[in-house]
Structure 1
Amino acid sequence: MQRLVDLGDPAAAALTNPRVTFFELPTGHWPMLSQPAELADVLLRAAAGEGRRLRPARDGAPPAHLRPFPLDVPELPRDRRGHVDLYVPDAAGPRPAVIFVHGGPVPAGARPKPRDWPTLVGYARLAAAEGVIGVTLDHRLHDVADYERAAADVTAAVELVRSDPRVDAGRIALWFFSAGGLLAADWLTEPPAWLRCLAASYPILAPLPNWGLTGSRFHPVGAVAHAGSLPVVLLRAGRESPEIAATVEAFVTAAEDGGAHLELIDVPNGRHGFETLDAPEEVRPALRHAVRSVVAHLTGEPGSATLRTG
């Protein structure tokens, strides 16, 4: 809920009233039946004014997604094409491209839009500093029911990027973040020949139980067995929430069992969204390592199929 407030969701803004407080119970839709004693305790505490309160948007420090990127990157201008921005290095000839796919859900009215967030822009400019084209985009994952149209938006963005004459259409990488990780499933199931690498940062790699996506195609844990020789680079947060960490571990197990080319890059003390949440000295080595590994796969330099690093 705090994230929705930080993203500028008008519906969530009313919940920042100091009289509104929040509690969590590890139960389902009928807590009066499954946890009656615990629910009674929560009601008594709520009546006493206890509970967690939400911080109004932009109250003091900026929200995490608008904090500065932890690495110094060149101030390359963006080239905006529809829902896609390209950051093009000063290099001759068509260049490989890395397309960065944001997570969500992000409210439709959130401003700035994800492709303008410092983290996404930072990654794109960092890729450009390594000699490839960095790409950010906006997709319409506004709710967990929106994965179908978000996937269509990503496909359209890929086609737009590959049609650009400055892009080497045969050398593309896709990089997914957070809940955008579920969108990786299509590309793992049938990797096209031009997809040279797939990367993910603190991703959700299987639908969470209450998302209503059971049986959907958006299930990277099940898809990775079909990845074949596609290199997969995964940045794993050591302090990830348990429910998300469980999807990552299931993915790692499925990848290893299926013989996928998985490279694990750990940020041991990193949290979900570690680029702007944790100490820069903690995350900088992992970011540099991951970007250079993806670029190496794009440019044809030899790399390790499986690497675990702290």
Structure 2
Amino acid sequence: MTAFILVSGVFTGPQVWDDTAARLTSAGAEVHAVALTGLGGGTCPSAGTDIDLETHVADVLAVIDAVAQVSGEEIVLVGHDYGIHPALGAADRRAGSIARIVYLDSGLPQDGVPALAAVADQGLREEALRAAEGGGGLLPPPARDAWRLWGSTADLPDAALDRLTAFASPQPLGTLLQPLRLTGAAAELPMAGVLCTGNGSSIAVLQARADLGEPSLQALTGPRVAFFELPTGHWPMLSGPTALAVTLLKAAAGEGHRLTPVNTERPPAHLQPFLLDVPGPPRERTDNIDLYLPPAARGPRPAVVFIHGGPVPAGARPTPRDWPALTGYARYAAGQGVVGVTLDHRLHAVTDYERAAADVADAVERVRSDVRVDADRVALWFFSGSGPLTADWMGKPPPWLRCLAADYPIMAPLPNWGRLDSRFHPADAVAHAGSLPLVLVRAGLETAEIAATVEEFLTAADRCGADVEVIDVPNGHHGFETVDRTDESRDAVHRAMGTVLRHLTA
């Protein structure tokens, strides 16, 4: 049998686990929900100034020791959200007592990094830092309608959201600001990740990030690590306690999906060949820009700048400008008599949109200054996570921008991104696009979370009468140019390129 030790997330106490614990108990498991000091309606000594991450690590250690002393059952340690930090800190010191660690819609804590670093929303991080600088020991819990900033509440019934709000406590700032200390003792313990797809996480996303070479994920491709998905928001213990209990029991039994290690014999999806045979010209490389020039071109030619998505880890190799989809489009453009351009920009995290936008703007100006490029006839073509960057160009279209295209774009922050600066809101910017032609290629098999951002944008575009042509790929996935080698996908590429070239040469 199994003894589950459940550690709750930011602002929450053991009460959030009640329904899930009842279901685990009815299945024959032993359950202990940890009462973290100062949370769950308890009092905070000295207004929280004496409570830090080590306090909560000690809370978890006390439960582990008590269970290990009187029970011969295997201990499965479950950390939700912030709770994975004290859970992992405790597991590091009691690795011999723990059978498995379950990361429930949480980050991957690292030695020396505070829990605040895992908070996606920059505004929330700044709020916590301001409170600490002002001498405050506590971060107030969110109001009822502000929980979504900490994780998706889309599937929470009103009663559950009321309950979450009622039991919330101020979070002692020391728990978020004190760095986690790990010796590595728990690094080889079996682990499971439970991903809440309604909060923007999924096994497919993790696999793609691992394929890109993200260092923190490479250790997660081994046999000791398993993953599960739940079709919920960030609080499955409130919105789907039965499904969560079933998943935790499966995790304890060692079930789950394993990520595929990077296989040099079969490249990952983003490195599969482009779906069209476009040999085209060789590249001409300068700094972070590659030009693909039309053969035997006479005089300055129009240009299409292809802007990769992301976030992409800084150490990803090859870098995006060498990915087959981008080089395939650039060579295709060159074969049609225009200059194809690929580039690398620094969108390495969701907090990098400002510097990525600066990289793109600089690259575009350098392309326009090339004597072989017609500076008055340029199109920009965005992909995937570069969607928010389209807002700059729609909000104030320059006269030389003849067309803006986007393939399977993410047009608003995903639930686990936090807030983006208002500068990067395409649904707001499109009202200022005027007569700028827009081309949007939509993948029919897109994830629900990304598809929702596209529909939000298209609704806004329709409301203001923007000139948008939608090209649908009904059976296409995200990144269909390398994963769906079908006539439908090829037709979509031809149609999109034909439309962009028509606007460039009109």
Q: Normalising by structure 2, what TM-score? A: 0.58
Shift of 1:53: 0.8
Tell me the residue number matched to 2:243: 38
Asked if residue 73 in structure 1 is aligned to residue 73 in structure 2, the reply is no
Asked if residue 276 in structure 1 is aligned to residue 479 in structure 2, the reply is no
SS across alignment from 1:234: strand
Shift of 1:165: 0.7
SS across alignment from 2:282: coil
Is the Cα contact below 8 Å between 1:130 and 1:292 reproduced in 2? no
Asked if residue 196 in structure 1 is aligned to residue 399 in structure 2, the reply is no
SS across alignment from 1:23: strand
Is the Cα contact below 8 Å between 1:27 and 1:35 reproduced in 2? yes
Is the Cα contact below 8 Å between 1:98 and 1:132 reproduced in 2? yes
Residue of structure 1 aligned with 2:503, choices 292, 297, 300:
297
SS across alignment from 1:68: coil
Residue of structure 1 aligned with 2:268, choices 40, 63, 66:
63
Tell me the residue number matched to 2:210: 5
- Counterpart residue identity of residue 10, structure 1: P
Is the Cα contact below 8 Å between 1:8 and 1:107 reproduced in 2? yes
Is the Cα contact below 8 Å between 1:207 and 1:218 reproduced in 2? no
Tell me the residue number matched to 1:83: 288
Quote the RMSD (CA, aligned, Å). 1.4
Asked if residue 255 in structure 1 is aligned to residue 466 in structure 2, the reply is no
Tell me the residue number matched to 1:303: none
Gaps of 5+ in 1: 301-310
Is the Cα contact below 8 Å between 1:128 and 1:134 reproduced in 2? yes
- Counterpart residue identity of residue 267, structure 2: P
SS across alignment from 2:471: strand
SS across alignment from 2:229: coil
User: What percentage of aligned pairs have identical amino acids?
Assistant: 68
Shift of 1:38: 2.9
How many Å separate the matches in 1 of 2:420 and 2:211?
29
Q: Normalising by structure 1, what TM-score? A: 0.93
Q: Count residues in correspondence.
A: 300
Asked if residue 134 in structure 1 is aligned to residue 340 in structure 2, the reply is yes
Tell me the residue number matched to 1:48: 253
SS across alignment from 2:230: coil
Shift of 1:40: 2.3
How many Å separate the matches in 2 of 1:236 and 1:37?
35
How many Å separate the matches in 2 of 1:265 and 1:9?
32
Is the Cα contact below 8 Å between 2:305 and 2:378 reproduced in 1? yes
Which runs of 4 or more aligned residues in structure 1 lie more than 3 Å from their structure 2 counterparts after TM superposition? Answer: 26-37
Is the Cα contact below 8 Å between 1:176 and 1:200 reproduced in 2? yes
User: For residues 155-234 of structure 1, what are the structure 2 equivalents within 5 Å?
Assistant: 155-234=361-440
- Counterpart residue identity of residue 280, structure 2: E
**Of the two structures, which has the highest relative contact order with CA contacts closer than 8 Å and spacing of 6 or more?**
1
Shift of 1:17: 1.2
- Counterpart residue identity of residue 77, structure 1: P
- Counterpart residue identity of residue 272, structure 2: R
Asked if residue 14 in structure 1 is aligned to residue 224 in structure 2, the reply is no
Shift of 1:31: 4.0
